[in-house]
Amino acid sequence: MSIPDKGLIIEHLSNKYSCKLTTMTRKQIMFEGNKNGERIVVCTPGSKIHKKGSGWFDLKMAQVELLDDANISILAVRLEGNKVYYIDFKELRKLITPDYIVFTPHIGEHWKFFVWESHIEIQGNREKFYVQPEFVS
């Protein structure tokens, strides 16, 4: 099973928002564009499905700040099995608080997310953010 190509996802979102999304400098999974004066930022983390049944990804402080600063912010989580979860980051952001920051020497301060079939969880937060995947071929 494969993880959807981020290029396909960015092409889909560029068409949806009628703007050109381009890679942010030195940010492999971060893209930005402009539509009618509104800044759009997209983050496209990907994950395979792990033994416990979920995918997972991390968001660093800088990535969250870039998404926060946009007028429209989209988290397009690419999961093994050709699944993509398109998330309005501003809605998910309500669950992302300093209480759930994780620190590792390699990454620094960040949040860890677990992606299940019908929801996303933030490590340490018991609330679930319900979402359904779209399938990409």
Instruction: Render pLDDT for 20-43 as a digit per residue (tens, 0 to 9).
Output: 999 999 999 999 999 999 999 999
51 pLDDT higher than 90: no
Task: Provide the CB-side half-sphere exposure for 84 (13 A, CA).
Answer: 20
Q: What number does CATH give the domain 6-132?
A: 3.40.1350.10
Q: What is the model's pLDDT at position 47?
A: 95
Give dist(CA 4, CA 7) in Å, integer. 9
Least confident of 17-21, 48-52, 61-65, 131-135: 48-52
* C-beta of residue 44 within 8 angstroms of C-beta of residue 7: no
pTM of the entire predicted model:
0.94
Long-range CB contacts (within 8 A, 24+) of 46-53? 46/3, 46/4, 46/6, 46/77, 46/78, 46/79, 47/3, 47/77, 47/78, 47/79, 47/80, 47/115, 48/1, 48/3, 48/79, 48/80, 49/1, 49/79, 49/80, 49/81, 53/116
What are the Cα distances from residue 99, in Å, to 26, 90, 103? 28, 18, 12
Q: What are the residue ranges spanned by the domains of the chain? A: 6-132
120 pLDDT higher than 80: yes
